[in-house]
Amino acid sequence: MITVINKSVLTSYRFPSFQMLAFGQMLTTVGAVIAASSDLGFNLQGYIFVLLSDFLTATNGVYTKKILGGHKDIGKDGLMFYSALFMLPFSLCGMGFILSYSIMLCTQYNSALTTTIMGCLKNILVTYLGMFIGGDYIFSVTNFIGINMSVVGSLLYTYVTFRPPVPVSRPVTNI
């Protein structure tokens, strides 16, 4: 939802089938709120940090696409240089650089929205695997329903975003 708002505010991008995209985003958001409402391991500080991370990640994706699309003088190498320079004090790990570079390439060749959706699909897999593997998931019916609503909304949103355009057929007239 944060990426959609950022992208509509910061660029002139128009979404296909706006009603279905909005429904998918609303279902995802409502599902997340329902799941969070019965989170038995609730931690306010954790939720604040996650929302801040979501906002900053979405803003980074939108600005990366905007810079790569409009500023030919900086290019992907210049963008990577300045991103790495800014991140250097925070992360001295080589994998952080590789992750940043792969995210930047994904955004360059696709869009900020595509990069976000791929991240969401990865998170869906991690969510379901974490329920069974991690051992720290505390089951509640409300939480489980909310998680599944959010997953269905994400999948609907992904389907509407990536489906091929329907060709417009013209009526045939006999002369």
Cα-atom radius of gyration of the chain, to the nearest Å? 19
109 CB burial (10 A radius; 0-12, 13-18, 19+): exposed
- What is the C-alpha to C-alpha distance for residues 21 and 81, in angstroms, rounded to an integer? 35
Retrieve residue 127's tokens.
């969510």
**Residue scoring higher pLDDT (139 or 2):** 139
DSSP 166: P
- What is the C-alpha to C-alpha distance for residues 30 and 120, in angstroms, rounded to an integer? 16
Residues 139, 123, 158, 31, Cα dihedral to 10°: 30
Residue 13 — pLDDT band, cuts 50, 70, 90? Answer: low
Start-to-end Cα distance in the chain: 51
Residues 144, 147, 149, 152, Cα dihedral to 10°: -120
**What are the CA-CA distances from residue 46 to residues 27, 33, 41, 49, 68 (Å)?**
23, 15, 10, 5, 33
Residue 94 has pLDDT above 70, yes or no: no
Residue 150 has pLDDT above 80, yes or no: yes
Q: What pLDDT was estimated at residue 160?
A: 76
pLDDT in tens, 112-131: 677 777 777 787 888 888 88
pLDDT in tens, 55-93: 887 777 777 777 777 666 777 777 777 776 776 666 666
